[in-house]
């Protein structure tokens, strides 16, 4: 069912420093910071030949990644995102398999303007999983 790895998201305490690490130490192509107020994050996209890394930093009050950064002050991997062709079909299959969908179970528009859902980490090897319809 799942297709390509769309991105790995990493929460960072200092976005400029993280962008610099990826651009200069690792020699990757990085974007300018992009504020996504609806999602409570500022993000820098790292373009790799086969996928993306998204560096995330909290934006505004009540950011969904604020608590994560409190618990992981030096940052850390936040989620992986797999592509699916049909998010509603994917959701129904996951529910049938006993997996838990976070939130109300209805897809939301994600950071790339496409429908996404998040799956409970306890059902997926301790990793928060995002699925995105592409």
Question: Is residue 119 a contact point for Co ion (CB under 5 A)?
Answer: no
- Of the listed pieces 7-15, 27-35, 88-96, 118-126, which binds Co ion according to CB under 5 A? 7-15
Decide the pairing of beta strands 5-11 and 52-58: parallel
**End-to-end CA gap in the chain:** 13
Question: Is residue 130 a contact point for Co ion (CB under 5 A)?
Answer: yes
Pull the structure tokens for residue 7.
């991105």
Question: Is residue 81 a contact point for Co ion (CB under 5 A)?
Answer: yes
Task: Round to whole Å and give the CA distance between 57 and 76.
Answer: 11
- Of the listed pieces 17-25, 26-34, 43-51, 126-134, which binds Co ion according to CB under 5 A? 126-134
Q: Residue 91: helix, strand or coil by DSSP?
A: helix
Catalytic residue among 54, 83, 130, 132: 130
Quick check: is 130 catalytic?
A: yes
Least Å distance, CB 118 to Co ion, is: 9
Give the DSSP per-residue string, 18-70. HHHIIIIIS--EEPPPEEEGGGTEEEEEEE-SS-EEEEEEE-STT-TTHHHHH
Question: Is residue 83 a contact point for Co ion (CB under 5 A)?
Answer: no
- The residue (of 24 and 85) whose beta carbon lies closer to Co ion is 85
Chain residues binding Co ion by CB under 5 A are 9, 81, 130
């Amino acid at each position: 069912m799942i297709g390509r790895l769309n991105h790995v998201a990493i929460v960072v305490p200092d976005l400029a420093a993280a962008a610099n690490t990826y651009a200069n130490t690792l020699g990757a192509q990085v974007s300018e910071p992009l504020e996504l107020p609806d999602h409570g994050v500022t993000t820098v996209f790292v373009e790799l030949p086969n996928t993306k890394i998204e560096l995330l930093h909290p934006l505004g009050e009540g950011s969904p990644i604020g608590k994560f950064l409190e618990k992981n002050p030096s940052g850390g991997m936040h989620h992986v995102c797999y592509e699916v062709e049909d998010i509603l079909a994917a959701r129904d299959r996951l529910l049938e398999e006993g997996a838990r969908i976070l939130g109300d179970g209805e897809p939301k528009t994600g950071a790339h303007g496409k429908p996404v859902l998040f799956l409970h980490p306890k059902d997926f090897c301790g990793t928060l999983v995002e699925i995105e319809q592409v």
